[in-house]
Amino acid sequence: MTRENRHFYEFGPFRIDTFNRQLLRDEQVVPLKAKAIDTLLLLIQNRGDLIEKNELMQRLWPDSFVEEANLTQNIYTLRKALGGDYIETIPRRGYRFVAEVKESGLPDPDFLIIKERTRTSFSYEEQANDANEFVTQSDSRLASAIDISPRALLPAKPSRSVLARYWWVVFLILIAVVVSMVFWWPRSPRIPFANIKLARFTTTGKAIKAAISPDGKYLAHVVDEAGYKSVWLRQVATGKDLQIVSPMHTEFFYGLTFSHDGNYIYYVNQEMNHLGMLFKVPSLGGDTTKLMEDVDSPVTMSPDDKRVAFIRGSPGEMSITIANVDGTGETKLALTKSTDEVRLGPTWTVPPAWSPDGKTIAIPVAVTTKQETYQTIQTLSENGTRQALTSQRWEMIGRMEWLSGGDGLLVIAEELGGSPTQIWHVAYPGGMTRRITNDLNNYRDLSVTSDGKTMIAVQAERKANISIASAGDTGHATQITNTNFDGLDGLAWAPDGKLVYTLNTGGEENLWLVDAKGTTPRQLTSHGGINRQPVVSPDGRYIVFVSNRTGRQHLWRIDIDGQRPLELTHGVEDSAPSFTADGQSVVFQSIATGRVLRIPISGGEPVALNDKACAEPIVSPDGVNVALVYRPTPAGLNQFAIVPAAGGEPRMIHELPAHYGRFGWMPDSRAICYADKQEGVGNIWMQPLDGSAPRQLTNWKPGPIFSFAWSRDGKWLAFAGGTLMSDVVLITDVGR
């Protein structure tokens, strides 16, 4: 007989006990699921080498088919538990364990095994003279050589009555142990959506909002077809579709909400320059009823379906409003201003979520400290008391939904530093967070069934490449980039005819520089979070852009070659930079205050152009005016307006078009131009400063224009055009 050795792998403060299959940190067990341990062992045993995703999945689940999300969830769980850079991701390929590992073996004093003989031998049975039993001996000559008889190795045999009583006692003890374990052994709580299966539920690329009925039988979704939005109901089991709201030409469709009994669907839409309106329609079709106005988010229903809660916004402030479903009895439960350190939102379209017991409403908030800006979740009681739900800090929060047991929420969120928006689970009341999805797609809507086993989400993807067209022949453009993620968040011409543009890859968004033929692309920023909205100084020396690399969205300056970064602004959150004509100052928008400011190119204290709440300032090429978006009164319409570059009162030009997108100046400074989307076709339009009717400049193929810019001499137009695809996916909880 010999002892089996335990085997240990040690790295950092961790040690893996392979016999007990446990991960220990400073001799304390780190709770992990068996599959997570298996994943870690495979990575460690192949440390230093890349293990392809397919190989990992085949070895971890050899007899079943699972989605790649199960593997990415295991990797995420391990990274969360280890808390260090132990596992390296090789994009689109697999993973590698990169830490130094020590191996050791320690004897286990309580585990004995009899090793099998490896030489050829024979055995025979010898009957004992005074006891009716048989003894097995391996080679009698070996026994005699060491002077040990087979009988000497045997204990005395107890009587049959003693054996009977012994086994009866053992049996009773085992029964008692089993019963006590059933009733008293602590049960591991069910982990919602720990292992998931994804199935694409729509394939048109035009589903923009969705909700699943509480019983899981029906899926409601909004289809955007050439600017017309309609609501459809699909029977999950059969795939049969029914249009329950006819197509309407509306700008914003905030979302869908089923009543808890599944009989009605509530939706909010908003036409350009009008208040958002709440409607109700029977789930299986029928007359649509308008319930109330001035609703700026999807609604969440009280457990008894008698009240709704939503976000209402106005310039400079936001509130949580509760009302009866017929629109009466409004109560403002919480109110925050844009200058508050902790404020609602920050976008109006993210709804609150009413808990199943009706006592709590989960609300999205933005927090600004001296060190950083982030978003998180608070709970709001019906007496107006707010408190933190979780310590998790996100870059952005989307829709939230409670699980029916009230022990947690599902949340759309983006991690700090930039990454695709994913689906998270937040435990209640503990606040622990866990990522459910971990892929390269963006999720922007979700809904869950009452049994907590199925949810749906809208999976979205933007793609674009940059093209250049002659000002005299915009109908014939030449594509100069091919990565499919170019210019999504801005592009700008340099005086030498090169282009600075954004490129989104690997969870980062960086700035690149390319010539007009697309032959010499060069990366300018790296490992700095999200970098977007670039503008180039008139002399071509500097690039100013928006970055969150320090935790807040500020303006940064770099040289045209990407060197010598300088943080220009230090406000709460800044956006939309634009150079003055002399290149000595930058005009920008302070999102927190809603003001347009000007700051020297070397940094310093910004100065407001006026005391009005304005957005998206752009300085004219001649340096005389600044074009911006302005609403003269809270109940008025958003307008294109201009103010003098030196500061002054806005002068209205024209109300915003129904499908307005990015805008800028024509090269001669006599008109504003903007990207529009009429009947599903992205094109550039021109709005003269005299307020006359806008005029279409281009006639391009269908698809959105994400950004555009005229060259400084006015001879060339560069634009990032592409596609925006979004479909509904069905996500099933397949258990542990």
- Residue-wise burial string across 502-529, b where 16 or more C-beta atoms lie within 10 A, e elsewhere: bbbeeebbbbbbbebebeebeebbeebb
**Nearest to 308, CA basis, from 348, 279, 287:** 279
- In contact, 244 and 256? CB cutoff 8 Å: no
Mapping DSSP to helix (H, G, I), strand (E, B) and coil, where does residue 403 land?
coil
Assigned CATH for 462-723: 2.120.10.30
Torsion-angle region of 431 (φ positive above 0: left; ψ -120 to 50: alpha; else: beta): left
Axis crossing angle, helix 53-60 with helix 68-82, rounded to the nearest 10 = 90
Distance CA 732, CA 202 (A): 16
Distance CA 370, CA 15 (A): 39
Q: Select from 3.40.390.10, 1.20.1260.10, 2.60.120.10, 2.120.10.30 the CATH code of 199-295.
A: 2.120.10.30
- In contact, 570 and 555? CB cutoff 8 Å: no
**Nearest to 33, CA basis, from 164, 189, 153, 149:** 189
Helices and strands (H, E) in the chain, number of each type: 5, 57
Question: Where in the sequence of the chain do the CATH 1.10.10.10 domains occur?
Answer: 2-109
Tokens encoding 353:
């979520």
The identity of residue 247, as a single letter, is P
Distance CA 240, CA 60 (A): 38
Half-sphere exposure of 589 (CA within 13 A, CB side): 19
Q: Sign of the C-alpha dihedral, residues 526, 529, 532, 537?
A: negative
The identity of residue 324, as a single letter, is N
- In contact, 538 and 554? CB cutoff 8 Å: no
Angle at 103 between CA 99 and CA 104, to 5 degrees: 150
Give me the pLDDT at residue 160, please: 56
- In contact, 133 and 42? CB cutoff 8 Å: no
Axis crossing angle, helix 53-60 with helix 34-45, rounded to the nearest 10 = 130
Q: Was domain 2-109 assigned CATH 1.10.10.10?
A: yes
Give me the pLDDT at residue 137, please: 36
The identity of residue 728, as a single letter, is V
Q: What is the DSSP letter of 152?
A: G
- In contact, 485 and 503? CB cutoff 8 Å: yes
Give me the pLDDT at residue 723, please: 86
Q: CB burial class (10 A; 0-12, 13-18, 19+) of residue 171?
A: exposed
- In contact, 460 and 497? CB cutoff 8 Å: no
- In contact, 456 and 729? CB cutoff 8 Å: yes
Give me the pLDDT at residue 69, please: 67
Spell out the alpha helix ranges (H) of 122-244: 140-145, 160-184
- Model pTM score: 0.65
Give me the pLDDT at residue 144, please: 37
Give the contacts of 600 (CB within 8 A, at least 6 positions apart): 584, 585
**Residue pointed to by tokens 């045999």:** 157
Q: Which residues of the chain have pLDDT under 70?
A: 1-6, 63-67, 69, 84, 91-92, 105-167, 176-190, 272-273, 346, 348, 371, 417-418, 506-507, 634-636, 658-660, 678-680, 702, 736
Question: Where in the sequence of the chain do the CATH 2.120.10.30 domains occur?
Answer: 199-295, 462-723
Axis crossing angle, helix 34-45 with helix 68-82, rounded to the nearest 10 = 80
Give me the pLDDT at residue 122, please: 28
Distance CA 726, CA 207 (A): 6
Mapping DSSP to helix (H, G, I), strand (E, B) and coil, where does residue 84 land?
coil
Mapping DSSP to helix (H, G, I), strand (E, B) and coil, where does residue 43 land?
helix
